[in-house]
Amino acid sequence: MFITSQNNPTVRLAASLSAKKQRETTGLYIVEGPNIIREALAQGCALQTLFFSDEMAADARVLELAEIRRMAAESAAPPDIVTLGRDAFKRIAQTETSQGVAGIAKKRYSTEQDVFRCAGANALVLDRIQDPGNLGTLLRTAEAAGFSGALLMKGCGDAYGPKAVRAASGTLFRLPLLQVDTAQEAIRLLRSHGKRIYAADAGAPVDYYDCDIARDAAIVIGNEGNGISKEWARCADVRLSIPMAGQAESLNAALAGGIIMYEAYRQKRTDMK
């Protein structure tokens, strides 16, 4: 199918997914770029529609285009494949320098059992993380550090927004995410699965590397401006911090979370030797 009109219903649907409300209503989101499209197809992510720019079809990346088309055709539920004219593709593109391929993907809905499926595994808790780059990076790092899933507290940004999707770089296809409204409910879930709660707090007296966080740890990373909420500070088994030599008051949330999660991974690898 070839579409040139920016007002075509399929183009309008894809363009509307730049809005959080529309993503929530439809359960759909946009993935963009050949690498993430290939990963989505390889991981069995449900793509509803696959878009190619006619400019991409005409340039030197014909082999790349053919490979993506082959993967789409061989997937369990092949998506509709649509070639768009330049203006139509520009309307759905969510980056200024688009690489000419995008897709409408269906959100993955995870359960409590998905998040806590691995006995002894650590879990990430994000407490009102709002910056989409931080959100996506923290999720990507959690997967890389062997965490089994993440709890996203009410007040977090949208993990399926375009910037978060790019920062997560494919993690959304694999890492189970669970939306939780209150700290009390999250704490109940964590306790019921035997997790100890370690909350990152810049003012805490305990250094992160002095904590045993190799397994069954829930690492809580708080809001970029205000840190963890009072509920998490009160209910945490340990409030931990990252020591700093300079005069900076705190680290970026994604950086701080990455340091702590990789300390947990280091401890786990050390225990396995």
- Judge whether residue 132 has pLDDT over 70: yes
Percent of the chain with pLDDT over 70: 98
Region 238-266 average pLDDT:
95
Q: What is the CATH number of domain 112-272?
A: 3.40.1280.10
- Judge whether residue 58 has pLDDT over 70: no
Other residues' Cβ atoms within 10 Å of the Cβ of residue 210: 9
CA–CA separation, 185 and 172 (whole Å)? 23
Q: How confident is the model at residue 57 (pLDDT cuts 50, 70, 90)?
A: low
Q: How confident is the model at residue 249 (pLDDT cuts 50, 70, 90)?
A: confident
Q: What pLDDT is recorded for position 94?
A: 87
Q: What CATH architecture applies to the domain 2-106? A: 2-Layer Sandwich (3.30)
**How many helices (H) and strands (E) are present in the chain, helices listed first?**
12, 12
Mean pLDDT lowest among 41-55, 56-70, 150-164: 56-70
- Judge whether residue 51 has pLDDT over 60: yes
Phi, psi of 243 (to 5 degrees): -65, 145
Q: What is the mean pLDDT of the chain?
A: 94
Same fold, 2-106 and 112-272: no
Give every strand in the sheet of 101-106, ordered side by side: 2-3, 80-84, 47-53, 101-106, 28-32
DSSP secondary structure letters along 125-170: EEES---HHHHHHHHHHHHHTT---EEEETT---TTSHHHHHHHTT
Domain ranges for the chain: 2-106, 112-272
Mean pLDDT lowest among 20-29, 95-104, 129-138: 95-104
Q: What pLDDT is recorded for position 36?
A: 94
Which residues have a Cβ under 8 Å from the Cβ of 98 and sit 6 or more positions away?
32, 33, 53, 89, 90
CA–CA separation, 239 and 150 (whole Å)? 19
Q: What pLDDT is recorded for position 55?
A: 80
Percent of the chain with pLDDT over 90: 88
